[in-house]
Amino acid sequence: MHRIDLNCDMGEGFGVYTAGRDRELMKYITSANIACGFHAGDAATIRKTVKLALEHGVAIGAHPGLPDLAGFGRRTMQITPQEAYELTVYQLGAVQAFARSEGGELRHVKPHGALYNMAAASRPLADAIAEAVYKVDARLLLFGLSGSELIWAGEAAGLRTVSEVFADRSYEADGALTPRGTPGAVIADAGLAAEQAVGMIKRGAVRTRQGSELALKAETVCLHGDTPGAAEHAARLREALDKEGILVRRAGDPG
CA distance 59 to 72: 23
In a domain, 180, yes or no: yes
| 64 within domain boundaries | yes
Q: What percent of the chain has pLDDT over 90?
A: 89
pLDDT tens-place string over residues 3-60 = 999 999 999 999 888 888 899 999 999 999 999 999 999 999 999 999 999 999 999 9
DSSP three-state, residue 34: strand
The verdict on residue 254 lying in a domain is: no
Q: Is residue 220 part of a domain?
A: yes
Examine residue 76 and state whether it is found in any structural domain, yes or no: yes
Residue 51 located in a structural domain: yes
Residue 253 lies inside a defined structural domain of this protein: no
Which pLDDT value is given to residue 141? 98
Instruction: Write out the residue range of the structural domain in which residue 96 sits.
Output: 3-248
pLDDT in tens, 207-248: 999 999 999 999 999 988 777 788 888 999 999 999 999 999
CATH of the domain at 213: 3.20.20.370
The pLDDT, as a whole number, for residue 16 is 85
What count of Cα atoms within 13 Å lies in the side-chain half-sphere of residue 2? Answer: 19
Average per-residue pLDDT for the chain: 95
Contact (CB, 8 A) for 246 and 3: yes
Cβ atoms of residues 120 and 165 within 8 Å? no
Looking at the domain assignment, is residue 255 inside a domain? no
The DSSP symbol for 160 reads E
Strand stretches in 124-240, DSSP E: 141-145, 160-166, 205-207, 213-215, 220-223
What total of structural domains would you count in the chain? 1
d(CA 50, CA 44): 10
Above 90 in pLDDT, residue 101?
yes
